[in-house]
């Protein structure tokens, strides 16, 4: 990392003239006095300003031509943090914390300004001492990726790791995961590990774990409490239920969606209430949530990515379906309008895809409600082509289920049978 990251031209000359660099604590006199740390800048920023991080945590840009005086208070130093291993209590149950990356496994480097996946699982455990009062937690870094970089091959690695630990003494497993694609991973694990005999909690954070407003610690603490005290199994997403720290929700893995870019309660259960709420150290079960393991646990950890998710909109070029056919895809999930419709301009290409043997499923781009393709003529036309209505399955869940069903079937007919079956509460009442 350069001592002058993002600085060039006039701002770079200013720093060099005063023997300053990124990470230095300085006092600056302009029309107002400021004290803070010199921060790096984006590479496309202008060359007229320096950036300080104030003690309040906010950044301020100062035009170098208006700086009357600048003096250094302390130089930047990089020190290695000491990570203390948590103590073991033989009377507590055991949990496994698997780190995959994301904001919950990140912290801000206040010398470089970057939010990076720098925390190991052990560091994450050690930074939340309350966890040691709940369970003895083993930690492992499976990989360290922001969740937008995760692929179905990562889902498989997570599922295989969880499956390999089921004969251990773990009461449950926490998966630390980025929030951007957490709903996809939750769905993937729900299908791959259906009827899993222990609970698994995917936990994320909207704000990095060293920020005062971080939700990381409470989400982790709540997940640990949930896993050791609640008599349930399955895959859950455990995140804030409100913008305050009053409630944390445990969402069922196939019914959850990230509905806000930055709020701490970004995740919501679609089509109902969360399976459990953690409030004031109490775990409250949603009485309408009646998940019961129906079969013996037999993992099916395969995914075939030859599935396309198409959001229909006025003006969509129907030839996109021709590309999907020619590219060797085996299935299409439509995110249709209203009750499950696409315009008649798509009909010939939809018919062509079905005749080529592709599976086509229909979900709705509406946030809530059922696909009902018998109500209007356009829906009935699509049913006649062989499109399968997928009730109130969330489009992202339908995509993941189709990848899973295709990966665990010998032919499209077997895939269709799996897509109709309510395997992991992906269809809700």
| pLDDT tens digits for range 210-219 | 555 567 788 9
What would the mean pLDDT of 388-400 be, rounded to a whole number?
Answer: 98
pLDDT in the model for residue 92? 95
C-beta separation of 301 from 325 below 8 A? no
Q: What share of the chain is helix, strand, coil (3-state, %, to 5)?
A: 30, 25, 50
Q: Which one-letter DSSP state was computed for residue 243?
A: S
Lowest-pLDDT choice from 64-73, 208-217, 275-284: 208-217
pLDDT band of 9, cuts 50, 70, 90: very high
pLDDT in the model for residue 136? 92
pLDDT in the model for residue 296? 92
Average pLDDT, the chain: 89
Q: Is 234 left (phi over 0), alpha (psi -120 to 50) or beta?
A: left
pLDDT band of 3, cuts 50, 70, 90: confident
Lowest-pLDDT choice from 116-120, 127-131, 392-396: 116-120
pLDDT of 78 above 60: no
CATH code that applies to domain 9-74: 2.30.30.520
pLDDT band of 146, cuts 50, 70, 90: confident
Question: Which has the closest alpha carbon to 40: 13, 61, 17, 67?
Answer: 61
pLDDT band of 426, cuts 50, 70, 90: very high
* Terminal CA-CA length for the chain: 53
Q: In which residue ranges of the chain is CATH 2.30.30.520 found?
A: 9-74
Characterize the bridge pairing of strands 69-74 and 25-29. Answer: antiparallel
Q: In which residue ranges of the chain is CATH 3.40.50.40 found?
A: 307-420
Could you tell me where the DSSP H helices lie in 277-394?
319-326, 347-355, 377-385
pLDDT in the model for residue 2? 63
What would the mean pLDDT of 373-382 be, rounded to a whole number?
Answer: 96
Active-site positions read 103, 179-180, 258
pLDDT of 77 above 60: no
307-420, CATH topology level: Rossmann fold (3.40.50)
What would the mean pLDDT of 352-357 be, rounded to a whole number?
Answer: 97
Q: In which residue ranges of the chain is CATH 3.40.50.1170 found?
A: 94-285
What would the mean pLDDT of 36-58 be, rounded to a whole number?
Answer: 84
pLDDT in the model for residue 118? 46
94-285, CATH topology level: Rossmann fold (3.40.50)
Lowest-pLDDT choice from 16-25, 190-199, 300-309, 397-406: 16-25
C-beta separation of 252 from 391 below 8 A? no
From the number of C-beta atoms within 10 Å of its C-beta (0-12, 13-18, 19+), residue 71 rates as exposed
What would the mean pLDDT of 170-188 be, rounded to a whole number?
Answer: 96
Could you tell me which residues come within 8 angstroms of residue 355 by beta carbon, excluding any fewer than 6 positions away? none
What would the mean pLDDT of 180-200 be, rounded to a whole number?
Answer: 97
Lowest-pLDDT choice from 207-211, 273-277, 287-291, 349-353: 207-211
What would the mean pLDDT of 158-180 be, rounded to a whole number?
Answer: 96
C-alpha to C-alpha distance for 256 and 184, rounded to whole angstroms: 9
For residue 285, how far is the Cα from the chain centroid? 24
pLDDT of 181 above 90: yes
Predicted confidence (pLDDT) per residue in 224-246, tens digit: 999 999 999 999 999 999 988 88
pLDDT band of 1, cuts 50, 70, 90: very low
Question: Which has the closest alpha carbon to 196: 219, 162, 170?
Answer: 162
């Amino acid at each position: 990392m350069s001592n002058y990251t993002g600085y060039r031209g006039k701002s770079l000359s200013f720093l060099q003239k005063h023997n300053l660099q990124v990470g230095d604590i300085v006092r600056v006199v302009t029309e107002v006095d400021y004290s803070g740390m010199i921060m790096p800048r984006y590479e496309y920023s202008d060359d007229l300003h320096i950036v300080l991080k104030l003690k309040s945590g906010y950044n301020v840009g100062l035009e170098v031509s208006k700086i009357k005086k600048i003096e250094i208070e302390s130089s930047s130093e990089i020190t290695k943090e000491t990570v203390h291993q948590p103590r073991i209590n033989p009377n507590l149950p055991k949990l496994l914390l698997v780190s995959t990356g994301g904001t919950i496994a990140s912290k801000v480097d206040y010398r470089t300004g970057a939010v990076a996946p720098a925390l190991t699982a052990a560091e994450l455990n050690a930074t939340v001492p309350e966890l040691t009062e709940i369970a003895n937690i083993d930690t492992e870094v499976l990989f360290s990726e922001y969740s937008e970089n995760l692929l179905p091959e990562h889902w498989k690695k997570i599922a295989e790791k969880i499956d390999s630990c089921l004969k251990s003494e773990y009461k449950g497993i926490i998966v630390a995961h980025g929030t951007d694609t957490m709903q996809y991973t939750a769905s993937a694990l729900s299908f791959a590990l259906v009827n899993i005999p222990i609970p698994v909690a995917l936990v994320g954070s909207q704000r990095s774990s060293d920020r005062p407003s971080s939700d990381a610690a409470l989400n982790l603490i709540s997940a640990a409490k949930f896993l050791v005290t609640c008599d349930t199994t399955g895959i859950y997403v455990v995140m804030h239920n409100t913008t305050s720290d009053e409630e944390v929700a445990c969402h069922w893995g196939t019914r959850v969606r990230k509905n806000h870019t930055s709020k701490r309660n970004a995740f919501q259960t679609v089509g109902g209430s969360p399976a459990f709420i953690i409030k004031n150290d109490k775990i409250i079960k949603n009485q309408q949530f009646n998940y019961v393991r129906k079969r013996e646990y037999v993992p099916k950890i395969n995914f075939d990515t030859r599935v396309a998710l198409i959001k229909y909109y006025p003006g969509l070029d129907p030839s996109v379906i021709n590309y999907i056919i020619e590219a060797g895809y085996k299935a299409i999930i439509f995110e249709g309008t209203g009750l499950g419709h696409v315009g008649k301009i798509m009909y010939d290409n939809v018919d062509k895809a079905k005749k080529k043997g592709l599976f086509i499923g229909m979900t709705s781009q509406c946030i809530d409600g059922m696909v009902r393709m018998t109500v209007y003529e356009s829906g009935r036309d699509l049913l006649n082509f062989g499109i399968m209505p997928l009730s109130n399955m969330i489009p992202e869940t339908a995509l993941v289920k189709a990848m899973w069903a295709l990966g665990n079937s010998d032919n499209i007919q077997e895939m269709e049978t799996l897509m109709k079956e309510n395997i992991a509460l992906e269809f809700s009442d």
